[in-house]
Amino acid sequence: MPVLREVSSSFAPLESPSYFLDILAQDKSETWVLHLPPRLKTFERELELLLCKVFTGRPRSRENLELAQQLTLNWCLSKCRKMGIALEESFHEV
């Protein structure tokens, strides 16, 4: 089962061309770490449950991390669309 952990950090996501990969990363202990944009943090538990549902019992592999990153990005885009904002706007404090 993938372990999810949320870390508050001060990284500047939009400055990196791969900022969308930073939303879900893996630390050295292979724990998946969420860095959700501020405007999506209130929905974090929903994403955690989705990721656990999909990836529980799956091997820890680079491919599964990449699939989880894509799922996380799609989830973020969907939430932003429902909120009527662009993904880039979600990184700005409310």
- Pair 24, 68: CB distance under 8 Å: yes
How confident is the model over 15-32, as pLDDT tens digits?
A: 555 666 688 988 888 889
Q: How confident is the model at residue 94 (pLDDT cuts 50, 70, 90)?
A: low
CA 90 to chain centre: 13
Q: What is the pLDDT of residue 1?
A: 41
pTM of the predicted structure, to 2 decimals: 0.77
Q: How far apart are CA 74 and CA 7, in angstroms?
A: 20
Q: How far apart are CA 63 and CA 90, in angstroms?
A: 27
Q: Where are the beta strands (DSSP E) in 1-94?
A: 4-6, 24-26, 32-34
Highest mean pLDDT among 2-11, 30-39, 67-76: 67-76
